Amino acid sequence: MNKKYIGLIFGAIAGVVVAVLLVNSGKDEGTNTFTAFDSTVKYTMTELFKSPPPITEHGWNVDRVLVFVHVLMGVLFAGWTLYFLYCIFKFRESNHPKADYFGARSKFWSTLVEYGVIAVEVVLIVCFAIPLWAEVMNDEKLAEIKAQAKDGSGLEIHILAKQFDWSARYAGTDGEFAQQDIRFADKSNNPFGLDPNDASIDDVLVLAAKDRKGAIVVPADTAVALKITSMDVIHSFKVLPLRVCKDAIPGLQLPIHFEAKTKYLDPKEENKDGEHVFLITCAQLCGDGHGSMNGYLKVVSKTKFQEWIKTKSEAAQQARRNNLAAVK
């Protein structure tokens, strides 16, 4: 192998190592995230991309990856465009009336650029993409949240998609999810398949989140684990300010977690009840009604959530008792 290429390879490796060290040196120890260019990231996402600011820590990491990838693509686009225009001018017919069938003799600079692009991509993958994926899809974190849900310090919600709305199920005040059975499943009234003859079930159901009053409710500053599935076709649960987007696939229960932070919630966007309401959309084409498959998710204080879940749980249990008494 040519000596200059050996030096180029070692130089590229050294450059990647230096870049990784520089990125790590710019990380905030409290969140273990790279924050050096956050003002630029925020401006790019909110002003240029017109995206609502994230209200989760991992959401900021999503934005960082998006912006840095777009910067790389912008540099490549500008670089290759300039090179293309240079070639058109340099090798125009009037300047080279006779074709050169051998092409470029020296590949040093083109190889240098190629290795440079690879080095930047490695840094983006190693320092940003892989840590972000590991954070969002952390099985240990999901198990921890489910364990915390028993004592109220965490929350687990089951999300069910169906044409064309979203439903949610909470464990109720007992902290336990009731058993499901496909025999009891009803797309309109009992999509989760709970036993209609069991009066002890206090699970809280949100059967259609299209109405703001019937929105899916989560507490602020609390880790939330979602278990997402579908009753018919493939959907995708997306809440842009949370930077959460997860497919809902029939037969699978796919997990994801997040934590809405009070420090990121804009007080100006509170409604009169002190709640922050966000739109749920479907990010997967799911049929003729795909465009109307919207819902709402509310972020409320911990105290208000505890009051809400207690009231809804007691009401659900009483309604089941009343229905059973009416049948008898």
Q: Where are the beta strands (DSSP E) in the chain?
A: 27-28, 33-34, 154-162, 165-170, 204-206, 216-219, 223-230, 235-239, 244-248, 254-258, 276-282, 295-300
> Token pair of 56, please?
């989760």
What is the pLDDT, as a whole number, of residue 12?
A: 58
Q: If we measure between CA atoms, which residue out of 220, 208, 210 comes closest to residue 155?
A: 220
Is 236 in contact with 284 (CB distance < 8 Å)? yes
| C-alpha 292, offset from chain centre | 21
Using CA atoms, how far residue 260 sits from 15, 160, 274, in Å, is 37, 21, 15
Would you say residue 144 has pLDDT above 70? yes
3-class secondary structure, 159: strand
Reported as a pLDDT band with limits 50, 70 and 90, residue 207 is confident
Residues constituting the chain: 328
What is the pLDDT, as a whole number, of residue 30?
A: 46
Would you say residue 29 has pLDDT above 50? no
* Residues above pLDDT 70, as percent of the chain: 88
Using CA atoms, how far residue 79 sits from 15, 35, 87, in Å, is 20, 27, 12
Average of per-residue pLDDT across 141-168: 91
Query: In the chain, what are the domains?
Result: 3-136 (no CATH), 152-327 (2.60.40.420)
